[in-house]
Amino acid sequence: MQIESEPKSPSPKKRPDLRERARALGVEALRDDELFALLLERGVEGEPLEERARRLFDLAGGVSGLAARGVGALAADLGLGLAGAARVAAAIELGVRLARTTGQGPKTSSAADVERWARPRLAALPHEELWVLLLDVRNVVIGERLVARGGVHALAVTAADALRPVVREAASAFVLVHNHPSGDPCPSVDDLRFTSRVSAAAVAVGVPLIDHVIIGRHGYVSLLETGLLEEPDP
């Protein structure tokens, strides 16, 4: 007597890996953390690639958190190693440069626009950072440069430090942005003195300082909007 064997149930179909999905669907079909996973390339023991990418992506604070970190911070804060950190930083910089060439950078028509750029990068930092936003003739951001990073209470910087990237990148105008780790965005006497020095130096080189925006945990202060910085001549 011949005994027929029971039909085997089909094995579950394996989900295509990220590289296969990127080829089949295009990278635009992947989530932010999946794009990040492609840059990481591999997981670690006990944590597959996509799980590791999701965890580190959330730890960084998403795309804006990754963009706010340089190679050193990506390596130290996320444990990516130098090669992985450099890949992530390079990918972000390529995106920034593409936005510049296509004229799709963020427009800074008001201090609120600056605040939207700065909040995810600066508001929660335990130290001060001073950035310059480099603008073209339409007030579109063509570059973002970290000028100085300080301790818990202050940072040491000169007007020349702030103007150096402005002149080097041939910006048409610029905005200063820095944070107060105390959470209070009200400008200090030193903030006002520094802004005055930068504004005078900017006039001398012919590249106007549009505004100086100070970021706190729950608010911001625009020196232009509060009348503490004169609007540059057209």
Tens digit of pLDDT for each residue in 2-44?
Answer: 444 445 555 445 556 888 988 888 888 888 999 999 998 777 7
Across the beta sheet with 141-149, what order do the strands follow?
A: 141-149, 129-135, 173-179, 209-215, 220-222
Return all residues near 152 (Cβ < 8 A) that are at least 6 apart: 126, 127, 181
Q: What is the pTM of this model?
A: 0.60
Instruction: At 86, give phi and psi (nearest 5°).
Output: -65, -40
**CATH architecture group of domain 111-222:** 3-Layer(aba) Sandwich (3.40)
Q: What is the pLDDT of residues 76-107, one digit of tens each?
A: 999 888 999 999 989 988 877 776 555 555 66
Q: 122-146 pLDDT, tens per residue? A: 888 888 999 999 998 888 888 888 8
| End-to-end CA gap in the chain | 100
Amino acid at 171: A
Residues 6 or more apart whose CB falls under 8 angstroms from that of 215 comprise 115, 118, 119, 122, 123, 177, 178, 179, 180, 185
**How big is the chain by its Cα radius of gyration, in Å?**
23
Paired with 145 in beta bridges are 132
Q: For tokens 């105008």, name the residue.
A: 173
Q: Judge residue 28's burial from the number of C-beta atoms within 10 Å of its C-beta, 0-12 exposed, 13-18 middle, 19 or more buried.
A: exposed
Residue-range domain boundaries for the chain: 18-101, 111-222
